[in-house]
Every structure is written in structure tokens, then in C-alpha cells.
Amino acid sequence: MTFVAKPRVHHPLLPINDIGLTRRDYEGSVSTLCAGCGHDSVSAAVIAACAELSIPPHRFAKVSGIGCSSKTPSYFLDKSHGFNSVHGRMPSVATGANLANRSLYCIGVSGDGDSASIGLGQFAHIVRRRINMLYLVDNNGTYGLTKGQFSATNDKGSTSKRGVPNLYEPIDLVTLALQLGASFVARSFSGDKRQLVPLIKAGIKHHGFALIDVISPCVAFNNHSGSTKSYDYVRHHSESVTKIDYVESGQEITADYEPGTTEDVEMPDGSTLRLSKVDANFDPHDRIKALQYVQRRQSEGEVVTGLLYVDPESPDCHDILETIDTPLNELDFADLCPGNAALAPINQSFR
């Protein structure tokens, strides 16, 4: 960590977004994480993505659990709403926040311990409830904050810093999310912002539950030669199956790829995801094939990254519950609490 706050002064040519802000206006307070922690890069990617989307910072709600990863919402978007909840319970808070004010963009940040160990139950349910949010997991295969115990995403046989092997099977959050009906599933690497930033932009704009499992090395406890979540290991064993560009509605699509390998996915808000498949056998619209692909490559020791599955049409929790379009905080008292006259017939219907 640093003790010196990042000076406010910035590069004179820093781009200004559509609402007159620079990337620096989306930052948070100075990070207290270890120098070199992958989580800081994820925060930087969130900052870049939000700025590029030109969404006003106060239109975001950020929620998290407990862990080094869950501390990071303090380090981005300091002019937004936020709730740092208890260990493994971010999904409950996110669900409440999203139900109460559906107009905010909700970003959850969690860790592998927070989501795959203590919070696994909550994780499973927020996926199947399809809360409209971006759920980021800063996955370092360890409990960083409590000094390096194995987490549930740690691969069997990989070792701790002291050389002790992990004896248990790993939980793969990407596989789980695919099984439980998530409509946007991706994996990325904190050290690859070119991939991560467009994924975050798409995840924020996606209507429905979007999971990005970001391998984010813990330099303090899990960046050694026996680890499968180290900078070196991920760089040598990751394989990007799709490249995406996020294109705002009305913007010209400029990226050019080999013909036949690209596909434009229309998002409900008019924006476009330009997908290019690196592996022609891969189909990001087929949940079962995506599952198989990820698992097969995993068994070969490879980490598949990129956008793995997307369904822009699927309903979110509000659609399922047929809730009112207006956020609850904008309803006046009479509408929110219509009184006995409205309650009586409802009660009557249950008798």
C-alpha cells in the first residue's frame, strides 16, 4: 500500500467522456492493498469501463462482502452508493438494493473465499434469481485478507507458499453460474485489461445477471511457483476463446476481424457486442457446449478466458416478478402503501 494519496493532477490529454468527466473522476480513495495485488488492476479496469460508458458515478451502487477483494469498492467510484456487507452476504444486500432501486447500475465485488466458501449458498441463489447486476469475483485462490489459507477455488494439488498441497477438488464459479442460469458468464485476468475492460462494460450494460470471474493474483500469498493462480501460471496457461468489443448505440464499429469469425450481439439498450471467436468450435450461445468446453480445457490444465456465454434476451428478476418499472424510491407514499382498501382484496384472494 502507499501512504501518499494519488495527486488529483492528471495528464493534459486524458480523454473526456460524453458527460464531461475523465477517468480520474471515477476513482476512489487510495488503495490499502498490497503493492502489486491483482485486485487493484481490477479496480482500475472498473474505473476505465465506467468512464468509457459515460455513466454518472452516482448512478452506480457498489456492494461487497469481506476480503481484500471486497475492500476494493472503496478504491473506485467514490461518488457512488456503496455497501460493504458481511462475509459471503453481498448477494442478499445486492438483491435488496436492486429490488428497491432498479434504475441504478449495480456492481458487486466478491472474492473466491467470499463467494465459493462461506458465501456459496448466497452465490447460487443470486444467480438463479437473475438479479440485474455485474458480479465480479476477484479470484486469487486464497483467503488473502486472513493471510493465505486455501480457498475453495484453489486447484487440487497446487500448493501453498510453504509447499503444502491442497487436497480438495476446486469449485468453479463459471461452471456453477452456467448451470444455474446466468445469462452472461465470462472469465478474465487482472493482468489483461484489453480483455477485461470491454467485458466489464458489457457486463454493466447486460440486462440480467452477469458474472465475471477474474483471476487476480495475490502477490503476498499465492504468486509462487506451486500456485495455479500466479501471474506466471495464468500467462502461460490461459487461452482467450472470444474477443469482444463493446460498441455504444449509434457508434461506428471499427474493429475489424477475419470475416466469418465475428458476430454482432444486439443488447437490449441498443448497444452492440462485437464478438470474435478465436476458436471456431466454440459457441457462446450454447450453454451446454460452453460448459463442456470450459470443463474439458480445465481438465487439461488450461484456463479459458473471454466471454463464455451470453443471452441478451433472458428475463431478469424484475421481469420474472413483474414489478413496477419505477424504482421504489421514486414512488410516492400513496402508491407505495395503498392502505387497507388495496390490501383487503389481496388478503381475500388467499382465503
What residues line the site for Mg ion (CB under 5 A)? 111-113, 140
Maximum distance among all alpha carbons in the chain?
Answer: 69
Binding segment for ligand TPP (CB under 6 A), chosen from 96-104, 134-142, 245-253, 272-280, is: 134-142
SS3 341: helix
Is 151 or 262 the residue whose CB approaches Mg ion more closely? 151
Task: State the nearest-atom distance from the C-beta of 10 to other proteins, in Å.
Answer: 6
Cα 100 to Cα 73, 120, 132, 208, 325: the distances in Å are: 20, 24, 12, 16, 11
Stretch 225-244 residues interacting with ligand TPP (CB under 6 A): none
**Nearer to ligand TPP by C-beta: 69 or 80?**
69
Assess 140 for contact with ligand SF4 (CB under 6 A): yes
136 scored as a contact of ligand SF4 (CB under 6 A): no
- Considering only 46, 66, 107, 136, the residue that binds ligand TPP (CB under 6 A) is 66
By a kind-dependent CB cut-off of 5 to 8 A, residue 25 interacts, out of Mg ion, ligand SF4, ligand TPP, none, with none
Side-chain half-sphere exposure of 234, counting CA atoms within 13 A? 23
Q: Kindly state whether residue 111 participates in binding ligand TPP, applying the rule CB under 6 A.
A: yes
Report the residue from 21, 23, 27, 39 that binds ligand SF4 according to the rule CB under 6 A. 39
CA distances (Å), origin 228, targets 120, 174, 213, 218: 21, 16, 15, 11
By the rule CB under 6 A, 113 interacts with ligand TPP: yes
d(C-alpha 208, C-alpha 110), whole Å:
18
User: Of 63-71, 168-176, 261-269, 279-287, which segment contacts ligand TPP by CB under 6 A?
Assistant: 63-71
**145 counts as binding ligand TPP under rule CB under 6 A:** yes
CA distances from 109 to 87, 179, 213, 303 (A): 12, 21, 10, 21
Cell of 237: 496457461
Q: Which of 67, 108, 198, 312 binds ligand TPP (CB under 6 A)?
A: 67
68 is a site residue for ligand SF4 (CB under 6 A): yes
Considering the rule CB under 6 A, would residue 65 count as an interface residue with ligand SF4?
Answer: no
216: nearest Cα among 305, 134, 325: 305
233 burial (CB, 10 Å; 0-12 / 13-18 / 19+) is buried
Q: Is 221 in the site for ligand SF4 (CB under 6 A)?
A: yes
Radius of gyration of the chain (CA): 21
Q: Which does 226 bind (CB under 5 to 8 A by kind): other proteins, ligand SF4, ligand TPP, none?
A: none
Quick one: which segment of 43-51, 142-150, 195-203, 264-272 binds ligand TPP (CB under 6 A)?
142-150
Is the CB of 127 or the CB of 152 nearer to ligand TPP?
152
Q: Quick one: which of 50, 118, 72, 91 has its CA closest to 177?
A: 91
CA 117, chain centre distance (Å): 18
Per CB under 6 A, residues contacting ligand TPP are 66-69, 87, 111-114, 118, 138, 140, 142-146, 151
